[in-house]
Amino acid sequence: MALRSARSVLWKALHAIPLSMACIPDGCYDYMTMAASDHIHNLTLRTSSVNTLSFRKVAHSHVAQPHLLEDGCTVTNSLLEGAVRVEPGSVLQHCHLQGPLQIGSGCLLTGLDVSSSPALQRWQLCDVVLQGHTIRLQDMLRQVFTLTGRHDDWQGLSETGLGGCPGEPVDRAQRIA
């Protein structure tokens, strides 16, 4: 029954939209896993791969000092002011950052605003995933952050509950706190 309902909703929403199909010779599909390393790899597309694609290092972004962006990094929908160095294998998305900053290899930074820059200037980031999220608590907007390692298992982190380490049980008091 639910499948029929879903088909009906999709048909009503999409039946008037013309669709076309394209065949991409030698195309492939990369399944997105829960591993940050796989996600970063797909966003930085190594130009040395067998299927070289035209790939832009910077898209929909303004970078004050583009010479500080090393080959193999990606900056999308971001504003980088001042000296922001980004090493190979790192991705910045939806960020407004102000240098001096050093983003080492293997990083994924998303959703960070300029107010994050002073705190980041004190650290040499490498192999981390740092995400900024704007949340609403009743009538207040707050910025919260998640920080994980590039090699952390995101699925394992969600299975252990808040505050735990993968494979370790989390007691109820710790989860509530």
Tokens coding 137? 């608590």
| Banded model confidence at residue 156, pLDDT cuts 50, 70, 90 | low
Ordered DSSP codes for 99-168: SSEEE-TT-EEES--GGGHHHHTT--B-SEEEEEEEEEETTEEEEEEEEEETTSBHHHHHHH-TT--TTS
Mean pLDDT, the chain, whole residue set: 81
Query: Which among 72, 81, 13, 11 has a CA at the least distance from the CA of 41?
Result: 72
pLDDT of amino acid 170: 38
pLDDT of amino acid 171: 39
Is pLDDT of 65 > 90?
Answer: yes
pLDDT digits 0-9 by tens, 87-128: 999 999 999 999 999 999 999 999 999 999 999 998 889 999
Is pLDDT of 172 > 80?
Answer: no
pTM for this entry = 0.70
pLDDT of amino acid 88: 92
94 and 109 Cβ atoms separated by less than 8 Å: no
Residue 25 CA to residue 34 CA, distance in Å, equals: 28
Ordered DSSP codes for 17-43: S-------TT-------SBHHHHHHHH
pLDDT of amino acid 46: 57
Q: What is the mean pLDDT of residues 28-57?
A: 69
pLDDT of amino acid 147: 92
Sign of the torsion angle spanned by Cα atoms 121, 37, 28, 18: negative
N residues, the chain: 177
89 and 40 Cβ atoms separated by less than 8 Å: yes
Q: What is the mean pLDDT of residues 27-35?
A: 74
Residue 129 CA to residue 93 CA, distance in Å, equals: 11
| Banded model confidence at residue 78, pLDDT cuts 50, 70, 90 | very high
Residue 24 CA to residue 51 CA, distance in Å, equals: 12
| Banded model confidence at residue 163, pLDDT cuts 50, 70, 90 | very low
pLDDT of amino acid 176: 31
